[in-house]
Amino acid sequence: MTRPHVWLPGTGTPPLLLLHGTGGDEHDLLPLREHLAPDAPVLSPRGTVLENGMPRFFRRLAEGVFDEDDLRARVDELAGFVAEAPTGVPAGTWVAAGFSNGANIASATLFRRPEVLAGAVLLAAMVPFRDGPGEADLTGKRVAVSNGRRDPMATAAHTDTLVAQLRGCGAEVAEFPHDGGHGIDAEVLPELRAFLAG
């Protein structure tokens, strides 16, 4: 547990695994707890990769081009961290709430290590693997996708492909689009909270 992180115990549900975007840290998404699942347990790790001094969860080769070998390795690293964290949260009950780079490792974790997560809230998410998700079985997992219609990175094509991949693996997926760009729209947060409570 030497990885920088924040652990906030709680009695609410679902337990949240908060995954920040590029240049963020373990404190960035903590305010989401109040909006998504007040009083829920929260585990918020920092990404272990540095890009020009900015923390990320995995390397990229260029803007929008992921180092997929590194992504696979970092998914396994994150899964190990979650499993070893002395939180008392039952395995497989975490819901990852990730923004941008954090959303991308969250979806990659669903596809590669589905036993780690019960679901995810993907904010400004792209497609993690060029060749698709493989043989992942996401039956019973609930995923919310909230991308901006004016997002130059997580485009409509990314959104459509990601949603189709998730549904193709059996996940229950709800879309919460907004009119903004590459960010989190406060207006969709009540809808995301209702989705998680549902």
Per residue of the chain (198 residues), give pLDDT as tens: 689 999 999 999 999 999 999 999 999 999 999 999 999 999 999 999 999 999 999 999 998 899 999 999 999 999 999 999 999 999 999 999 999 999 999 999 999 999 999 999 999 999 999 999 989 999 999 999 999 999 999 999 999 999 999 999 999 999 999 999 999 999 999 999 999 998
Structure tokens at 94: 């975490």
Give pLDDT tens digits for 46-57: 999 999 999 999
Q: Which residues are designated catalytic? A: 100, 151, 182
What pLDDT is stored for residue 109 in this prediction?
Answer: 98
What pLDDT is stored for residue 64 in this prediction?
Answer: 86
What pLDDT is stored for residue 19 in this prediction?
Answer: 98
Query: For domain 5-197, is the CATH number 3.40.50.720?
Result: no
What pLDDT is stored for residue 1 in this prediction?
Answer: 62
Residue boundaries of the structural domains of the chain: 5-197
